[in-house]
Amino acid sequence: METSIWHALLYLVGILAFAGLNAAYLGYCERKGAARIQRRSGPTEVGYAGLLQPLADGIKLMSKQLLVPKGVDGIIFRAAPILAMVPAITSMAVIPFSGNIQARAMELSVLLLFALAALAMFAILLGGWASGNKYALISSTRAVSQTLAYEIPMLFTVITVVLISGSLNLQDIALDQQGGFWRWNIFRIENGHFLTMWISFLIFFICTIAETNRAPFDMAEAESELVAGFMTEYGSMGFGLFMMGEYLNIVVAACLTTVLFLGGWDCPLGLIPGVWWFLIKIYILIFTFIWIRWTFPRTQIYKLLNLNWKILIPFSMVNLLITAVLIKVF
Amino acid sequence: MSAYWRDIFYGSKSLIKGMLITGRQFFKPVVTEQYPYETPTLPPLFRGHIELIGNAESGLPNCVVCMMCQRACPSDCISLGGKKAEGGKGKVLTSYILDFTKCSLCGSCVESCKFDALRYSHEYNLVSFNKDDFIIDLMKRLEEQNRCKQ
Amino acid sequence: MTVPISPRHDETFVLNLGPQHPATHGVLRVKLTMDGEYIVKAEPVLGYIHRMHEKMAEAGTFAQFMPNTARMDYLHALAFNHGWALVVEKAAGIEVPPRAEYIRVITVELNRIHSHLLWWAANLLDLGAFTPLLYAFDDREQVIDLLERVTGSRLTYSYMRFGGVLNDIDEDFIAGTRAFLVRLRERMPVFYHDLVTSNIIFIKRVKDIGIITPEMCRRYGVTGPVARGSGINYDVRKDEPYSVYPHFDFDVPVFHECDSMARYMVRVQEMEQSMRIIEQALDALPDGPIMAKVPKMLKPEAGYYYSAVETARGLLGHRLVCNGDKNPYKLKLRSPTFSNLSLFGEVTQGMLLADALAFLGSLDLVIPEIDR
């Protein structure tokens, strides 16, 4: 792949545009989706069917003052929202949107993604810590224990995929799954992997919900307990950046799920692969995120950790074992 | 141990069931009223703030200044003034001020009125930045209504 | 999950929950001493919405206090209306026509369904589920529309009068109520039970959380669904019958688990029992006047009067002292949620913050009624 300055610039602009558009419009989709599930109509006033609502929200947030309360750690307080955005945007650099749309093909892109995902937790931790608010502090400690715990089963399930593909490169993993849904990791017929991989997929999906702090695992911003969690003291674009970071994390999680389990840009029937298949898949996953959020009550922190340590981790370990055996036997 | 497996099985089942219910609702039409574009029809008994009833012919208030409404009001929000009728017996109403900021819409005034002089208005769009806007002169309101009728 | 802990006082901190907090549903303030996420001590602080209703009763005539009653428990306003009407009728010796009494029961029970629906919605909101709230509001809107038709008001009705009710009900209301009952019965299994009651996350959140023992109920004077969720079979409608409740055949749901789930089940089943009462009342609705002949100005004989009604939250007692004047000499209200909240501190010791708020939601608090 050529690495001229134009190539880098093109992808920089492309990724920023994709990220910005998603961060803005997923908020709109969330509100519309929630409204439809609840038999309401959601935003309708700004633009046709409320389509300019994200713009209006953005202008409103930007015109507000970023209030830094007395007694907070000013630098960290201001840096945390930026830190919420940066890892999510950076992760997009290694995601293969299709066979030839990828900013940077890296041999260890899976590792890089998980390193960046772990970094996203820091934004919550620092934001909550610097706020000097008790609710924010409780929220950030919750977020850390939750994210740390859920990384374990997540990595176990990713190892099963890596074992099957024999590569840590997302591009290779996706290429390995081309040629119809029976070759996708979730339904893989070859070696009988479909027996365990759907469980891997479910575990991975649950973990992404927990990692991105989405309901029903939104311990960190449980609004009926912690007011707004780590965002309690944030207003203006500080709040806006946290929200955008949250949506970008969802996009990254959906992209990763698509590449690891759903064949990336492959057509389900093995016909014409392309970037549109990738986009369809990630938006179906994102819709499921929204759907889940607006259906279930929130779990409680200990129930959440119980689910992780008692169900997800044993299941993912057994899954890893079976997958390894299947690969060895066949 | 069996409780563990039962939780996983029935738990997943209940989650899927819940998702299907909300998923079905996603495709159904909305049930809310788009307020400024669609307005609700108020039931005939709706209790808004009070207003005076004008005589069908003359348009003058039916009120005979018996002060029953003022006495019935639990929050002292009605104050009315009257004067001796010219050349006749009884009194005529000169001012009827409703302090809507104190009103609790209980309807005691309308009930206490024996002369069919008060009724509930159907006005519910009441909003202002100024408290004085809710000290309503009902005589003026009646005059405006009469003017609209003509 | 309640874990007994021994607090280390040098490591606790005070968390001020309220007066403005999304989970307190009003201006309740709870001073929490926390050890991490565990509550060491919880102390409800009241008085943020105290309006001296009892004193206001002394200032006006008997009829002038009627609108105030609806403003205490704004969710079951008609029961408060009913209670005040009953105690004054008892004092003044007014006989209420049967049709008026039936209409009272129908509207009070409709209002009880409305109150439980709103509690259900708000409790789910405390647990972080937003969608059930809107589904319950869809049903609640039907009740409010029905009540608005007869009372003219949507929330603070002040519909009862001494000796009867303000307006008669018509055929449209009866047909509408029957249609609503059919609709709610249809929606109940899907939107209430399938979506929430059997949901594993919900069950894990409420089962074995907030145990209130029967002994504790007696100590704090707990009544209503909270007591019935702890196995105490006490319902004023059955045990000290008033109005025309003895004419109806209904059950009092009692659960012995003592946890939040039991209180939830009691309320959900009470809605079904209320529907049964409304159906029977509509079937047996007698003809006749809706108001008794009542003197213009009530002057009950001097004496002490007491009457109690069952509101959606428990026993509401009115203790009325008259001295033969046109004002009450003294009125004491025994409101249910004040007692129901009192045990919050004892139950939440050693509880997680998240569980404590789920427990607070299961108590069904209406703050203006606590403070009066």
Whether B129 is covered by a domain: the verdict is yes
Whether C365 is covered by a domain: the verdict is yes
Q: For residue A314, give every residue at least 6 positions away whose Cβ sits within 8 Å of its Cβ, in sequence order, or none.
A: none
Q: What is the nearest CA distance from B33 to chain A, expressed in angstroms? A: 9
Taking the C-alpha atoms of C87, C90, C93 and C94 in order, what is their torsion angle to the nearest 10 degrees? 60
Do C166 and B72 lie within an 8 Å CB cutoff? no
pLDDT digit string, tens, across residues C199-229: 888 888 888 888 888 998 888 889 889 999 8
Residues 34 through 93 of chain B touching chain A, CB cutoff 8 Å: 34
The low-confidence residues of chain C, meaning pLDDT below 70, are 1-10
Residue A2, pLDDT above cutoff 70: no
Q: What is the CATH number of the domain that holds B101?
A: 3.30.70.3270
State how beta strands B135-137 and B91-99 pair: antiparallel
Structure tokens at C259: 């946890």
Average pLDDT of chain A to the nearest whole number:
84
B14 CB neighbours in chain A (<8 A) are none
State how many domains chain C has. 1
* Angle (nearest 5°) at CA B103 between B102 and B105: 160
Residue burial A23-50, b: 16+ Cβ < 10 Å; e: rest:
bbebbbbbbbbbbbbbbebbbbeeeeeb
User: With contact defined as beta carbons under 8 Å apart, do A282 and A251 qualify?
Assistant: yes
Domain that holds residue B60: 50-149
Distance CA B109, CA B119 (A): 9
Do A39 and B4 lie within an 8 Å CB cutoff? no
Phi, psi values for residue C324, rounded to 5°? 80, 5
* pLDDT the model gives residue C7: 56
CB contacts < 8 A (B, C): 69
Contacting chains of A (3 CB pairs or more, <8 Å) are: B, C
Distance CA C98, CA A227 (A): 50
Best mutation target among A231, A294, A296 (most C Cβ atoms within 10 Å) is A296
Q: ipTM greater than 0.90, yes or no? A: no
pLDDT digit string, tens, across residues B78-99: 888 877 777 767 777 788 888 8
DSSP-based helix, strand, coil % in chain A, nearest 5:
70, 0, 30
Do A295 and B22 lie within an 8 Å CB cutoff? yes
Q: Is B17 on the interface with A (CB under 8 A)?
A: no
* pLDDT the model gives residue A222: 76
Distance CA C12, CA C362 (A): 27
Residue burial B119-141, b: 16+ Cβ < 10 Å; e: rest:
ebbeeeeeeeeeeeebebebbeb
Whether B97 is covered by a domain: the verdict is yes
Mean pLDDT of all residues in A314-330: 85
Q: For residue A112, give every residue at least 6 positions away whose Cβ sits within 8 Å of its Cβ, in sequence order, or none.
A: A91, A94, A106
C30 CB neighbours in chain A (<8 A) are none
pLDDT digit string, tens, across residues B5-27: 888 888 888 888 888 988 888 88
Whether C193 is covered by a domain: the verdict is yes
State how beta strands C38-45 and C303-311 pair: unpaired
Q: Of B57 and C63, which is predicted with more confidence?
A: C63
- How far is residue C120 from each of residues B37, C131, C139, C261, C321, measured CA to CA in Å? 31, 12, 12, 12, 37
Whether B85 is covered by a domain: the verdict is yes
* pLDDT the model gives residue C179: 92
* pLDDT the model gives residue C4: 54
Q: What is the CATH number of the domain that holds C359?
A: 1.10.645.10
pTM to 2 decimal places? 0.88
Nearest CA in chain A to B34: A41
* pLDDT the model gives residue C182: 92
Q: What is the nearest CA distance from A223 to chain B, expressed in angstroms? A: 22
Whether C69 is covered by a domain: the verdict is no
pLDDT digit string, tens, across residues A104-156: 777 888 888 888 888 888 888 888 888 888 888 888 888 888 888 888 888 88
Closest CA to C89 of C306, C286, C314, C241: C306
* pLDDT the model gives residue A270: 67
